[in-house]
Chains A and B, each alone.
Chain A
Amino acid sequence: MTPRTLYQKIVDQHTVRPLGKDGQILLYIDRQVLNEYTSPQAFAALHAAQRGVWRASSSLAVVDHVNPTTPERNARTMVIADADRSRQVHTLAENCQRHGIALFDMLDDRQGIEHVVASEQGLVLPGMVIAAGDSHTTSHGAMGALGFGIGSSEIEHLLATQTLVYTVMKNMRVQVTGQLGAGLTAKDLVLALIRQIGADGATGYVIEYTGEAIAAMGVEGRLTLCNMSVEAAARGAIVAPDDTLFHYLQGRAFAPKGEHWDTAVTAWRQLHSDPEALFEREVTIDASAIAPMVTWGTSPDQGDAIGAAVPDPAHEADATRRRSMVRALDYMGLQPGQALEGLPISHAFIGSCTNSRLDDLRDAARVLRGRRVAQGVRAMVVPGSTSVRQQAEAEGIAQVFIEAGFEWRQAGCSMCVAMNDDHLNPGDRCASSTNRNFEGRQGAGARTHLMSPAMVAAAAVSGVLTDVRRLLPN
């Protein structure tokens, strides 16, 4: 048999039938996760065509994008002052009720960002294919699954048929040699990778991550890595399942139990690329050479090590890239040659599906312990899920954030996408653990610098972009 990559094996296991002779297939989808702003149009189309939902039990719905994250949500009220957002949340609830779909609403203790919730509940298992109306669905590759984002029309297709018309992608292997240094995280690795291959570097590919640094990385780090792979245009990113993953999954709410667990693990151990499998593209990156990363521009590939200076567009040979740089520096209010370290910030934000899990909060808390947020900086932390929030409170991490002067918020997407009330104002400069530094992403005219949660914490207490390694105990 022809050697196959893990991606090809997962696709083969989910192929209902080929469609024509040109590489497209009908792909069976194990699970979909629905949210309040991309699913209503899908349900409306389904209802207009008088079609039903193929397998309601394969769907989970979560409120995450538009809900408030204010402490008042503790008052156990579903009231959202904004009428439009309230309608989105209530429409989701109505659609779920009509079709018998499980919903973690705003007040559910399992509520949170869909990509955080799905893995922590054990809803995503190795070998699965997951699609959802959110681009960061690539996160689930950390679970040894294929995950990818889709639009609302595809959600409709998936709800009605449990399948998607799918174009098979090419294979890219990213081999991460060496180990990340102290104070370095998966976020630094993925920002370095995106810088290396570009924001469109993985167009048409699914990435498989391998190598020493990946083997040593925890599942939450792998979730960060696979999550942000979409910022290099990958249509999926996978880490082969291993004992680290099985240990993470065992005992989670929806993970298999008892003898089913053993059967499953035996099957999951077969999920790896064959040694001779062909990857159309190979990329190598040395983890030990990476320094803490920050972005200076408005595309995730416009980043550099914290010790670097803002680049000079005049030195860029490619005209399109040069224009992008000029525009980005203008938007970001930066000058060529300016040092990144020492750049004053007005805001610090820890949250998002990229970096809002317990390990992320622990990393940040390690920096914050015994320190205070610098004067003039507004700092907030938005846990990825209510469950993360509760665990952080039980561990005493919440107290560290609060004592340092961070706002300790309720779970949601919050100021990563700024679709609720959490947003920046024009000219605000934010050290952010999120995934997109796009123009206007955190609010019209707002300036976002992407970095790891530990780097955000370092910037928050210093008031300026700072190399976190200076603040860590030796």
Chain B
Amino acid sequence: MEAFHSLTGIAAALPQAHVDTDQIMPKQFLRGIDRQGLSQGFLFDMRFEAPGKPRPDFVLNRAPWQQAALLITGPNFGCGSSREHAVWGLRELGLRCVIGSSFGGIFSDNCARNGVPAIVLPSQDVDRLLALATDPERCVMTVDLQAQTITTPGDGKVLSFEFDPLRKHMLLNGLDAVGLTLQYADDIRRFEQGYLKQRPWLAV
């Protein structure tokens, strides 16, 4: 996994609530057996009128947000289906971080496994970031995962955020979760033997 330390970039605002993963990655892009080529599908119906025909008024199609690296979202972004394609597409498009008041649980987990911190803030802080992100002059922000801060030069503020320590460690170091867990292979084996022994009905 690609490590995430800190990021300074343009933030785009997507204030709509409950943007589900069917909207983030529609079904016509779920036809593959790999993780590639999904940037085209990201928020497809919002970004495009038809294949190859962008909606000029959509934020990610306008300057300067065509270069956005952060996405400030409305509540419950990424709810719905478990499809990790949503995060693969987001990442492939160049987005590296999502910030909102809540996220779909599976989506948030998927982000963490793809080098994309999903940062949860109180809604009044998200509202402030949304306002800044809407202003082309003030939409640049810095997320520092190590320090757990978001700096907004646009209004000269720095805010702190909470972040799961284990997830932070994984992201900062770009760690392979499977490799890390396999260090505990003996623990798992021991647990499994005891667990199945106590439940003879499972062993048949």
| A26 and B34 within 8 A (CB) | no
Given contacts A26-B181, A324-B16, contact A203 B166 (CB under 8 A): no
Q: Interface digits, B18-49 against A, CB 8 Å rule (1 contact, 0 not)?
A: 10101100110011111100000000010000
Contact for A37 among B30, B74, B113, B182, CB less than 8 A: B30
Chain A residues positioned under 8 Å from B16 (CB to CB): 320, 323-324, 327
A151 interface residue, CB < 8 Å from B? yes
| B84 and A417 within 8 A (CB) | no
Q: Interface digits, B98-110 against A, CB 8 Å rule (1 contact, 0 not)?
A: 0000101110011
| B201 and A439 within 8 A (CB) | no
Given contacts A16-B184, A153-B110, A162-B188, contact A440 B104 (CB under 8 A): no
Bound complex: CA A436 to CA B26 (Å): 14
Residue of B nearest to A419 (CB): B27
Q: How many residues of A contact B (CB 8 A)?
A: 72
Contact for B79 among A14, A199, A264, CB less than 8 A: A199
Residue of A nearest to B30 (CB): A37
Residue of B nearest to A323 (CB): B16
B191 interface residue, CB < 8 Å from A? yes
Chain A residues positioned under 8 Å from B154 (CB to CB): none
Chain A residues positioned under 8 Å from B202 (CB to CB): 30, 125
| B22 and A88 within 8 A (CB) | no
A150 interface residue, CB < 8 Å from B? yes
Residue of B nearest to A235 (CB): B105
Minimal beta-carbon separation of B19 from chain A (angstroms): 10
| A320 and B102 within 8 A (CB) | no
| A438 and B80 within 8 A (CB) | yes
Chain A residues positioned under 8 Å from B166 (CB to CB): 19-20, 22, 24, 165
| A84 and B34 within 8 A (CB) | no
| B27 and A38 within 8 A (CB) | no
Given contacts A149-B106, A439-B45, contact A135 B81 (CB under 8 A): yes
Bound complex: CA A160 to CA B26 (Å): 29
Which residues does A use to contact B, with CB under 8 Å? 13-14, 16-17, 19-20, 22, 24, 26, 28, 30, 37-38, 40-41, 44, 49, 51, 54-55, 84-85, 87-88, 91, 125, 133-135, 148-154, 156-157, 160-163, 165, 167, 199-200, 203-204, 233, 235, 256-257, 260-261, 263-264, 267, 299, 320-321, 323-324, 327, 417-419, 436, 438-441, 444
> What 6 A-B pairs have minimum CB-CB distances, sorted nearest first?
A151-B84, A256-B201, A40-B33, A84-B31, A153-B113, A151-B110
The 6 sampled A-B contact pairs (Cβ below 8 Å) are: A88-B31, A151-B109, A200-B76, A299-B20, A439-B45, A440-B22
Which residues does B use to contact A, with CB under 8 Å? 15-18, 20, 22-23, 26-27, 30-35, 45, 74-76, 79-84, 87, 102, 104-106, 109-110, 113-114, 164-166, 176-179, 181-182, 184-185, 187-188, 191-192, 195, 199-202, 204
